[in-house]
């Protein structure tokens, strides 16, 4: 009994750990999309956040600097995206893809160069302890519940708080109202004196910063700060789909990310689950692990198919999504 | 009376098109000024410059005697200029209140007033230099404190993002009541009727404190009754001291509502006349620059057998609800059948169903005895049925905005000469030239992208192309939507010409006056249901208005079905089968 409960809890913990970068990426993308920019550069933005954050964190052994570096790295990508799509009116999809390629390339270039010259910083023992440890003291020692709810590193909780703040910002404040207006119908927003470009710049840059945090999470907590040519590993693309899955609400994105986190966790946790519940899950041992690798992406595709099939006036999808705004267009 | 707005020598060009050329305009305090002009005469462009959407190339604007430069809608708002656009600038997913609330500034701190008050409290008038210095220092301290407060206030508002409070609904409700409007501020825009949306727009600009109101074709989407309500509102606002500019093409409305009429022609200001000295003839001549015959013809023709018959047609709209409900009607050759109804009552779906663009749930569409059900649009066009639908944005259906007139002409004829893989651009250019001269289309060349033309000219291209293909049934929806008198008459003439040749015409229209004068019969739709078919000669506007709103149903009134021809091409058995289904 004990071991089977533990197997479930461990699987759920893994789901939360893997869901957190998705949540950060999704929250950032929601800020982008709600203000009218379909930023497909999540993957690249996360990669840049990962490399800047990880390098700064590993070389200084300071978690705060790691997060700051990641945020600034993400903002940098956001700024490029915003400048190209808003000021220069470039096509949003093409620009997003360019950011994805650029970010991935930059991360790879810096990482590989440092690795091959042997200068890639390695973590100190106390920093490693900070990465692998974490959790809320006392509370995390409660049996089962402590493990399930209070044993994570700080960024997991920060991600939830950010998602909730973004939700409140979008739905409950006037600033959020203005930003939604710029995303829904920029011409209407402009006609009442909302500075559409400023709204979009602001939200793209901050949203991209949040994506950057997701990137550094991938680098430090999923890959333990060890250089890996594919730190982000498609999580950014899942985040783009998660925005649709969570109907453009960052509060819904919280559990949405954990559902996808569970799908991602299955690969590593399935064997122990199978041995804990041999009667129900024994079939899973016959499935090659590649299937579990592909599972999140298959579900992502299903989500996209189902969501594009349903016709509902009440979706949170902004009407002006993906459209650049020219005031004098006719 | 003083002028609140003076426009002097304003010029604006779009590429090679001169939209406004050295325009001048005066708007007096508390008057309703009608701005009249043909399509493409630059009325909307001028007003867009006043409201900060466009930036003039040269020229000056004076508001209240002071020269201003309006860079953005926000500045226009601050100057008290509010514009209700022809296409409403509202966000569908938000409530009425939020649509208005989103444009309000941070709760104003009134720094200037407070500074002035502080200065009053701290006079600097002592004759003793030491005392004066102390007074000056005290004043400086108070001013600094106030400025810091203002900064803190703004910063606080910025960081908190200003929570949306329930009280915003009350604030909007209050101004709604004050001005005597009716609007549910909690209703979302997507659930509103057109007139409600317009009310929302007007309240919006009033809430922002506008005293110069610009209404761009406000009556185009309203029913007769709603127009009267709008006019009453406008008169009330005038009494409160607002100055109003109204753009409209309908001369009867101009004469009814305005105090003065300013006339523009081809981007230039012509003159301003007092409404009481004007009549339709004078205005038209000023607008067009030449004498025009103001009479819509209705040539008598011999009606043929039924050409197109619709029996028990049911069609759903995009949202999946029933748009056309069990409707029957027919058109004979040489007959023009008008379709009247409030916008969105199913006209679009009906047109699309006939043209083969929309799935038919049940019923029968019959052309010269042959069923059209299930045929692809191309086949239907080949059978001689042409459709031209002018949507509200005028570009939505039928034309490719970024392509030139020539290329758009080819969209329907590219398949001529089946074995030639190349398009015949020369021939298309000839046709485009013919069209331009026949319909007086204002364009720099045949190769200008259609998007660059003004709305009315775009429309002429579309209608012209449809008639070009010599069909035997013409379905035309809002062919004169937003067109000026001259072009409208040109289009009526073209349609009448076709009618004389034995073509059956389905004319979906907006203006009842026009339909009563032009069509042979008028059928009225309300919420997708046929309310009855009347002879245009015998019908009145009031009767049609009642039918459009569903208050009068001739089917019930006269206890007989409408829309089934006695000499139908559909045999009795088929029709019978239909009913059994």
Residues of chain A in contact with residue B55, where contact means CB-CB under 8 angstroms, are: 328
Quick one: which of B243, B244, B186, B184 has its CA closest to B218? B244
Mutation target among A192, A197, A248, A317 for the B interface, most CBs of B within 10 A: A192
Q: Which of A176, A188, A330 sits opposite B14 (nearest CB)?
A: A330
Whole-number Å distance between alpha carbons of A48 and A73: 6
Q: Does the distance separating the beta carbons of B160 and A173 come in below 8 Å? A: yes
Tell whether A293 is within 8 A of chain B (Cβ). no
Residues of chain B in contact with residue A194, where contact means CB-CB under 8 angstroms, are: 74, 102-103
Give one DSSP letter per residue of B503-567, joined into a string. -EEEEE-S-HHHHHHH-SEEEEEETTEEEEEEETTT--HHHHHHHHTTS--HHHHTTS--S--TT
Distance (Å) from the alpha carbon of B394 to chain A's nearest alpha carbon: 12
Tell whether A327 is within 8 A of chain B (Cβ). yes
- Which residue in chain B is spatially nearest to A318 when comparing CA positions? B93
Tell whether B94 is within 8 A of chain A (Cβ). yes
Tell whether B54 is within 8 A of chain A (Cβ). yes
Do B526 and B554 form a contact (C-beta atoms < 8 A)? no
Tell whether A310 is within 8 A of chain B (Cβ). no
b/e code A207-239 from CB counts within 10 Å (16+ = b):
bbbbbbbbbbbbbbbbbebebbeebbbebbbbb
Q: In chain B, helix, strand, coil percent, each to 5?
A: 40, 25, 40
Residues of chain A in contact with residue B98, where contact means CB-CB under 8 angstroms, are: 177
Q: Does the distance separating the beta carbons of B161 and A173 come in below 8 Å? A: yes
Q: Which of A169, A180, A187 sits opposite B89 (nearest CB)?
A: A187
The SS3 call for residue B307 is strand
Q: Does the distance separating the beta carbons of A185 and B91 come in below 8 Å? A: yes
Mutation target among B76, B91, B154, B163 for the A interface, most CBs of A within 10 A: B91
Residues of chain A in contact with residue B202, where contact means CB-CB under 8 angstroms, are: none
Segments of chain B scoring below 50 in pLDDT: 573-581
The predicted model scores a pTM of 0.76
pLDDT score, position B346: 83
Q: Does the distance separating the beta carbons of B73 and A190 come in below 8 Å? A: yes
pLDDT score, position A329: 61
- Which residue in chain B is spatially nearest to A181 when comparing CA positions? B91
pLDDT score, position A76: 96
Tens digit of each residue's pLDDT (9 = 90 or more) over B306-340:
888 888 889 888 777 788 888 888 888 888 999 98
The angle that helices B224-239 and B194-207 make with each other, rounded to 10 degrees, is 10
Domain boundaries defined on chain A = 2-309
Tell whether A197 is within 8 A of chain B (Cβ). no
Q: With 90 as the cut, is the pLDDT of residue A208 above it?
A: yes
- Which residue in chain A is spatially nearest to B98 when comparing CA positions? A177
Q: Does the distance separating the beta carbons of B72 and A193 come in below 8 Å? A: yes
b/e code B395-431 from CB counts within 10 Å (16+ = b):
bebbbebebbbbbbbbebbeeeeeeeeebebeebbeb
CB pairs under 8 A between A and B: 90
Tell whether A129 is within 8 A of chain B (Cβ). no
Q: With 50 as the cut, is the pLDDT of residue A131 above it?
A: yes
Q: Which of B53, B102, B190 sits opposite A194 (nearest CB)?
A: B102
Own/partner pairs, B291-295, CB within 8 angstroms, 24+ separation: B292/B485, B292/B486, B292/B489, B293/B489, B294/B485
Tell whether A23 is within 8 A of chain B (Cβ). no
Tell whether B330 is within 8 A of chain A (Cβ). no
Distance (Å) from the alpha carbon of B487 to chain A's nearest alpha carbon: 21
pLDDT score, position B573: 46
Do A192 and A276 form a contact (C-beta atoms < 8 A)? no
Tens digit of each residue's pLDDT (9 = 90 or more) over B491-549:
888 888 888 888 888 888 877 888 888 899 999 888 888 888 888 888 888 888 788 87
Do B527 and B345 form a contact (C-beta atoms < 8 A)? yes
Q: With 50 as the cut, is the pLDDT of residue A253 above it?
A: yes
Q: What is the overall mean pLDDT for chain B?
A: 83
pLDDT score, position A214: 96
- Which residue in chain B is spatially nearest to A185 when comparing CA positions? B91
Residues of chain B in contact with residue A180, where contact means CB-CB under 8 angstroms, are: 91, 94
Whole-number Å distance between alpha carbons of B388 and B399: 10
Residues of chain A in contact with residue B320, where contact means CB-CB under 8 angstroms, are: 311
Q: Does the distance separating the beta carbons of A176 and B77 come in below 8 Å? A: no
Residues of chain A in contact with residue B100, where contact means CB-CB under 8 angstroms, are: 192
Give the number of C-alpha atoms closer than 13 A to the C-alpha of residue A242, restricted to the C-beta side: 33
Q: Does the distance separating the beta carbons of B190 and A189 come in below 8 Å? A: no
The lowest-confidence range among A72-81, A105-114, A208-217, B153-162 is: B153-162
Residues of chain B in contact with residue A178, where contact means CB-CB under 8 angstroms, are: 102
Residues of chain A in contact with residue B451, where contact means CB-CB under 8 angstroms, are: 330
Task: For residue B17, list its beta bridge partners.
Answer: B14
pLDDT score, position A259: 93
Distance (Å) from the alpha carbon of A320 to chain B's nearest alpha carbon: 10
Whole-number Å distance between alpha carbons of A185 and A318: 8
Tell whether B161 is within 8 A of chain A (Cβ). yes
Q: In CATH, what is the architecture of A2-309?
A: Orthogonal Bundle (1.10)
Residues of chain A in contact with residue B90, where contact means CB-CB under 8 angstroms, are: 185, 188
pLDDT classification of A80: cutoffs 50, 70, 90:
very high
Distance (Å) from the alpha carbon of A321 to chain B's nearest alpha carbon: 13
Q: Does the distance separating the beta carbons of B101 and A174 come in below 8 Å? A: yes
Could you say which residues from 72 to 91 on chain B have a Cβ atom under 8 Å away from some Cβ of chain A?
A: 72-74, 77, 83, 85, 88-91
Tell whether A328 is within 8 A of chain B (Cβ). yes
pLDDT score, position B578: 45
Residues of chain A in contact with residue B53, where contact means CB-CB under 8 angstroms, are: 190-191, 327-328
């Amino acid at each position: 009994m004990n071991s089977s409960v533990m197997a479930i809890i461990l699987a759920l913990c893994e789901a939360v750990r893997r869901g957190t970068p998705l949540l950060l990426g999704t929250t950032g993308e929601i800020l982008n999309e709600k203000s009218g920019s379909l930023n497909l550069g999540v993957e690249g933005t996360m990669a840049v956040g990962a490399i800047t954050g990880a390098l700064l964190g590993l070389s200084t052994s300071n978690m705060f600097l790691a997060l700051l570096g990641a945020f600034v790295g993400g903002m940098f990508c956001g700024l490029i995206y915003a400048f190209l799509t808003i000021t220069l009116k470039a096509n949003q999809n093409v620009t997003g893809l360019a950011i994805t390629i650029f970010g991935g390339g930059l991360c790879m270039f810096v990482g590989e160069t440092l690795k091959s010259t042997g200068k890639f910083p390695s973590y100190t023992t106390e920093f490693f302890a900070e990465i692998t440890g974490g959790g809320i003291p006392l509370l995390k020692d409660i049996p089962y519940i402590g493990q399930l709810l209070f044993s994570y590193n700080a960024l997991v909780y920060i991600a939830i708080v950010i998602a909730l703040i973004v939700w409140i910002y979008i739905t409950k404040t006037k600033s959020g109202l203005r930003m939604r207006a710029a995303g829904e119908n920029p011409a209407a927003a402009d006609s009442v004196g909302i500075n559409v470009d400023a709204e979009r710049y602001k939200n793209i840059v901050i949203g991209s910063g949040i994506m950057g945090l997701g990137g550094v999470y991938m680098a430090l907590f999923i890959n333990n700060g060890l250089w890996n040519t594919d730190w982000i590993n498609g999580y950014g693309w899942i985040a783009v789909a998660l925005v649709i899955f969570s109907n453009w609400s960052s509060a819904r994105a919280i559990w949405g990310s954990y559902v996808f986190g569970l799908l991602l966790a299955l690969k590593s946790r399935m064997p122990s689950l199978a041995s804990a519940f041999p009667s129900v899950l024994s079939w899973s041992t016959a499935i090659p692990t590649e299937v579990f690798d592909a599972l999140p992406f298959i579900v992502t595709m299903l989500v996209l198919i189902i969501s594009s099939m349903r016709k509902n006036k009440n979706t949170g999808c902004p009407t002006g999504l993906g459209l650049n705004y020219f005031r004098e267009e006719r | 009376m003083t002028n609140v707005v003076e426009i002097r020598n304003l010029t604006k060009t779009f590429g090679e098109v001169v939209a406004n050329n050295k325009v001048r305009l005066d708007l007096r305090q508390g008057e309703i000024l009608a701005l009249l002009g043909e399509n493409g005469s630059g009325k909307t462009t001028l007003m867009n410059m006043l409201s900060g959407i466009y930036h003039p190339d040269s020229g000056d604007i004076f508001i209240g005697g002071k020269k201003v430069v309006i860079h953005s809608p926000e500045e226009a708002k601050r100057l008290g200029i509010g514009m209700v656009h022809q296409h409403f600038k509202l966000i569908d997913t938000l409530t009425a209140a939020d649509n208005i609330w989103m444009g309000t500034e941070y709760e104003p701190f009134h720094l200037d007033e407070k500074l002035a008050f502080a200065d009053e409290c701290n006079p600097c008038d002592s004759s003793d230099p030491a005392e004066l210095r102390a007074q000056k220092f005290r004043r400086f301290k108070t001013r600094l404190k106030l400025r810091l407060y203002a900064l803190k206030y703004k910063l606080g508002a910025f960081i908190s993002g200003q929570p949306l409070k329930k009280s915003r609904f009350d604030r909007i409700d209050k101004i709604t009541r004050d001005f005597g409007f009716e609007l549910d501020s909690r209703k979302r825009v997507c659930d509103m009727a057109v007139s409600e949306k317009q009310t929302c727009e007007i309240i919006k600009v009033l809430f922002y404190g506008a005293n110069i109101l610009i209404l761009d074709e406000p009556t185009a989407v309203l029913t007769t009754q709603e127009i009267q309500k709008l006019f009453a509102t406008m008169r009330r606002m005038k009494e409160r001291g607002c100055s109003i500019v109204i753009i409209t093409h309908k001369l009867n409305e101009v004469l009814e509502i305005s105090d003065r009429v300013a006339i523009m022609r081809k981007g230039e200001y012509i003159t301003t006349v007092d409404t009481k000295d004007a009549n339709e003839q004078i205005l038209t001549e000023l607008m067009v620059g030449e004498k025009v015959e103001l009479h819509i013809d209705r040539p008598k023709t011999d009606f043929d057998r039924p050409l197109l018959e619709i029996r028990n047609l049911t069609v759903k709209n995009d949202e999946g609800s029933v748009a056309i409900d069990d409707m029957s009607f027919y058109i004979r050759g040489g007959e023009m059948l008008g379709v009247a109804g409030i916008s969105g009552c199913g006209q679009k779906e009906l047109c699309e169903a006939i043209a083969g663009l929309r799935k038919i749930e049940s019923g029968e569409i019959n052309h010269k005895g042959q069923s059209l059900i299930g045929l692809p649009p191309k086949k239907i066009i080949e059978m001689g049925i042409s459709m031209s639908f002018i949507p509200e944005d005028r570009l939505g259906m039928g034309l490719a905005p970024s392509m030139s007139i020539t290329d758009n002409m080819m969209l329907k004829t590219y398949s001529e000469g089946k074995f030639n893989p190349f398009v015949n651009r020369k021939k298309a250019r000839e046709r485009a030239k013919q069209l331009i001269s026949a319909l007086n289309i204002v364009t720099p060349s045949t190769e200008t992208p259609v998007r660059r033309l003004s709305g009315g000219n775009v429309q002429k291209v579309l209608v012209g192309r449809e008639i070009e293909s010599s069909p035997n049934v013409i379905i035309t929806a809002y062919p004169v939507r937003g067109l000026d008198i001259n072009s409208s008459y040109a289009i009526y003439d073209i349609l009448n010409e076709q009618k004389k040749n034995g073509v059956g015409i389905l004319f979906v229209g907006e203006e009842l006056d026009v339909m009563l004068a032009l069509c042979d019969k008028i059928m009225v739709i309300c919420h997708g249901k046929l309310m009855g078919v009347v002879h245009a000669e015998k019908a009145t506007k009031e009767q049609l208005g009642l039918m459009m709103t569903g208050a009068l149903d001739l089917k019930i009134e006269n206890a007989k079905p409408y829309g089934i021809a006695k000499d139908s091409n559909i045999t009795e058995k088929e029709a019978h089968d239909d009913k059994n289904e």
